């Protein structure tokens, strides 16, 4: 991981993601009503669901490392691919690094590089286990093409998983993002694929656990 001094992000990060507010409100109200009407024993499963919602939709502030050419992790999770392959979006050979998120990871997605969003592609698809390699080509997915100021192309793909049924993306082509800036969210288990130029130097290995914005995947 990078030891470059950190650069505090200038944008706000809520501790609890707005995407989870309806789920939290419903689960908490049901738990309170059941507690009042039937007691703690009957309400305990609902309180456990409320706690799960709280942990799943947490969205902690993160500090992004400073330095030239750094590619930050766009998601929390475990590295499941570091390989040279075809980038299906930009039609090029690329270094692909994939991060798998389970239901206990933070699911907020953040920009891996400083750059402009040149194009966005959305593809409907299946909902197979996101830990499998074929999820990158068969599952529902949303791809963002970032271009850095020095002309480097980075493709960042949100991929739905076995339980994930909603990919959220809040930016449009032309948006200029800073590395670590929040741009989307995936509900309930998924992965993010990052396609880099083939001369990028990977700084992670299979099985490594990474945190969005805080950990460096590669050096361009």
Positions annotated as catalytic residues are 190
* Tokens of residue 162, six digits: 């076995």
H or E stretch covering 121: strand 115-123
| Residue 50 C-beta-side C-alpha neighbours within 13 Å | 15
Compute CA 137 distance to the chain's CA centroid, rounded to the nearest angstrom. Answer: 17
Strands (E), 171-213: 176-177, 182-186, 190-196, 201-202, 209-210
The pairing of strands 182-186 and 201-202 is: unpaired
Q: Is 50 helix (H, G, I), strand (E, B) or coil?
A: helix
């Amino acid at each position: 991981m990078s030891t470059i001094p950190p650069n505090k992000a200038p944008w706000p990060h809520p501790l609890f993601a707005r995407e989870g507010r309806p789920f939290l409100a419903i689960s908490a109200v049901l738990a309170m009503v059941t507690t009042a009407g039937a007691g703690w024993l009957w309400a305990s499963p609902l309180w456990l669901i409320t706690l799960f919602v709280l942990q799943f939709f947490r969205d902690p502030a993160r500090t992004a490392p400073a330095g030239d050419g750094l590619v930050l992790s766009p998601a929390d999770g475990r590295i499941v691919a570091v390989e040279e392959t075809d980038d299906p979006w930009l039609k090029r050979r690329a270094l692909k690094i994939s991060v798998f998120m389970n239901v206990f990871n933070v699911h907020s997605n953040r920009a891996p590089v400083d750059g402009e969003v040149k194009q966005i592609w959305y593809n409907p698809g299946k909902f197979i286990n996101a830990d499998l390699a074929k999820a990158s080509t068969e599952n529902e997915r949303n791809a963002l093409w970032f271009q850095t100021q020095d002309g480097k192309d980075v493709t960042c793909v949100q991929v739905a998983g076995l339980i994930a049924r909603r990919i959220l993306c809040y930016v449009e082509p032309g948006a200029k993002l800073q590395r670590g800036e929040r741009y989307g969210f995936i509900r309930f288990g998924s992965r993010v694929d990052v396609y880099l130029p083939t001369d990028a130097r990977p700084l992670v290995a299979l099985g490594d656990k990474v945190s969005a914005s805080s950990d460096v995947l590669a050096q361009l």
